[in-house]
Amino acid sequence: MVREKWSSRIGFLLAGIGSAVGLGNVWRFPYIVGQNGGGAFLIPYLISVFLFGLPLMLLEFSTGRLFKGSVVSSLKKIRKKFKWIGIAVVSVLTVVLSYYLVITGWILAFFTFTLLGRETSFESFAQTYFSPLFFVVVTIAASLIVMRGVRKGIEKTSKIMVPALGVLLAVMVIYSLSLPNAMDGITFYLTPDLSKLSDSSIWAAAFGQAFFSLSVGSGILLTYGSYLEEKISLVNSSMLITIFDLLVSFMSGLIVFSIASSFGFEVAAGPKLAFSTLPQVFDKVPYGFFLEGIFFLLLFFAALTSAISMLEIGVAVLIDETSLDRFKSTSLLSSIILVLGFPAALSYSGISLQFTGRPVLDLMDETFGSFGIPLTALLLSTSISWFLDNLVIAEEINKNAKWKIGKTVVFLTRYFIPIVLLYVLLTRLHFYLV
């Protein structure tokens, strides 16, 4: 069977941006900045994005395009045994996807409530028995998109949702900046306190956030690279995806910090921010209903386009490695995801499913999200940078590129990135054990 290809460069770019821009940008980035010293965080963050995130992205795109295969098929071509690394990468990501879809379901639920004009707090929603239903709905939606294929499914959806997300975000930025006292929040957000830079935990947070936000090291970009034409420059495209991802995080920060200082709430509130703090604010302001609708719709677009990218990597593996076609592969994988994610969905429902006293979703995130992803990223990147001919990768990266940075990228992915990933893993382990 002929491998599908992106129909155009812009289609590929929007799909790449769609994967990168997700909950990590709109929901996670602002509170991570808040918890890590405000403006001071932006410096290690920018360094992490350009020095570690971008090179890893290039490594994945180039490997995918060289081998024209899924993570498993590509790694297998480097060394037969590396097939197992590919399987580990896909398995971890599939578990992450299962609870990512639970959160995407919450967003859809809140959007629906806003449309119906109903005020609901997260606490009361999470106690209802029907809350897992939204998880099922978004899982089916994501699989229907992926079933339609690279062009008609992923690319087409991204072409609609990503630009729409940009417009909604711009509306929210303009509104938030016009609020009274917004500037105090912006000052905290943009003034770096350089003395904080000596705190190593800020650096670990920045590395972790950059990897997650750019979707690097999880095999997605490798899979997306396998659908790429030779004539497209990987360097230019990766730069654009990285810059847009940064821009969306930056704009989300502007929104959250202005609203926070105008209404006097704590940005470091953490995960609760999107589902309880902001809705409370929206309830108080004129046209709040409208703003809340915009906010949840943009969050939904961001989350869904990332979710379909996570689903595609597993589907690509099944298509390449088994005799199943796209329809059957997607159906099989989504059924597995429904089973895996259901306990997570039940943990925030009337049943409040817990394990060792913690909601199942939180435990899944702490193990698979915080450890699993950096660990498989370490395995994936080193098995490419140490075992595939470096000249071949550098050449693939430099093809049609204005800036020939292939060799630098290879150097970084060989020596620096493994150290950084190890550092992220160790700090998380320390945090977990202490």
Q: Which is nearer to ligand PHE, 38 or 369 (CB)?
A: 369
Tokens 């109903």 sit on residue:
118
The verdict on 24 binding ligand PHE (CB under 6 A) reads yes
Here's the x/- map for ligand PHE, 149-188, by CB under 6 A: it reads as: ----------------------------------------
The verdict on 20 binding ligand PHE (CB under 6 A) reads yes
The verdict on 315 binding ligand PHE (CB under 6 A) reads no
The verdict on 101 binding ligand PHE (CB under 6 A) reads no
Q: Render the burial of 293-305: b for 16+ CB within 10 Å, e for the rest.
A: bbbbbbbbbbbbb
The verdict on 381 binding ligand PHE (CB under 6 A) reads no
Min dist CB 271 to ligand PHE, Å, is 13
What are the respective helix, strand and coil percentages of the chain, to the nearest 5?
A: 80, 0, 20
User: Distance between CA 60 and CA 64 in Å, rounded?
Assistant: 6
What is the dihedral sign for C-alpha 222, 228, 230, 231? negative
Stretch that binds ligand PHE, among 20-28, 180-188, 260-268, 409-417 (CB under 6 A): 20-28
User: Distance between CA 70 and CA 105 in Å, rounded?
Assistant: 28
Restricted to residues 290-309, the positions that interact with ligand PHE (CB under 6 A) are 306, 309
Q: Which is nearer to ligand PHE, 78 or 248 (CB)?
A: 248
Q: Which is nearer to ligand PHE, 19 or 242 (CB)?
A: 19
The verdict on 56 binding ligand PHE (CB under 6 A) reads no
354, containing H or E segment:
strand 354-355
Q: Which is nearer to ligand PHE, 48 or 213 (CB)?
A: 213
Which of 4, 12, 19, 203 touches ligand PHE by CB under 6 A?
19
Min dist CB 288 to ligand PHE, Å, is 26
DSSP string, 292-328: HHHHHHHHHHHHHHHHHHHHHHHHHHHHHHSS--HHH
- Identify whether the C-beta of residue 42 lies closer than 8 Å to the C-beta of residue 249: no
What are the start-end ranges of the E strands in 191-298? none
Stretch that binds ligand PHE, among 21-29, 114-122, 174-182, 292-300 (CB under 6 A): 21-29
Tokens 């971890």 sit on residue:
92
Min dist CB 81 to ligand PHE, Å, is 24
Min dist CB 101 to ligand PHE, Å, is 12
The verdict on 310 binding ligand PHE (CB under 6 A) reads yes
Q: Which is nearer to ligand PHE, 260 or 310 (CB)?
A: 310
Q: What count of other Cβ atoms lies within 10 Å of the Cβ of residue 422? A: 13
Min dist CB 152 to ligand PHE, Å, is 21
Min dist CB 21 to ligand PHE, Å, is 6
Min dist CB 3 to ligand PHE, Å, is 21
- Identify whether the C-beta of residue 158 lies closer than 8 Å to the C-beta of residue 305: yes
Which SS3 state, helix, strand or coil, does residue 87 take? helix
The verdict on 220 binding ligand PHE (CB under 6 A) reads yes
Min dist CB 263 to ligand PHE, Å, is 25
- Identify whether the C-beta of residue 92 lies closer than 8 Å to the C-beta of residue 247: no
Selection from 21, 307, 315, 298 nearest residue 172 by Cα:
298
The verdict on 212 binding ligand PHE (CB under 6 A) reads yes
Selection from 430, 426, 420 nearest residue 382 by Cα:
420
Min dist CB 220 to ligand PHE, Å, is 5
**Which residues, including other chains, have CB under 8 Å from residue 404's CB and lie 6 or more apart?**
235, 398
Min dist CB 249 to ligand PHE, Å, is 8
List interacting residues with ligand PHE (CB under 6 A).
19-20, 22-25, 212-213, 215, 218, 220, 306, 309-310
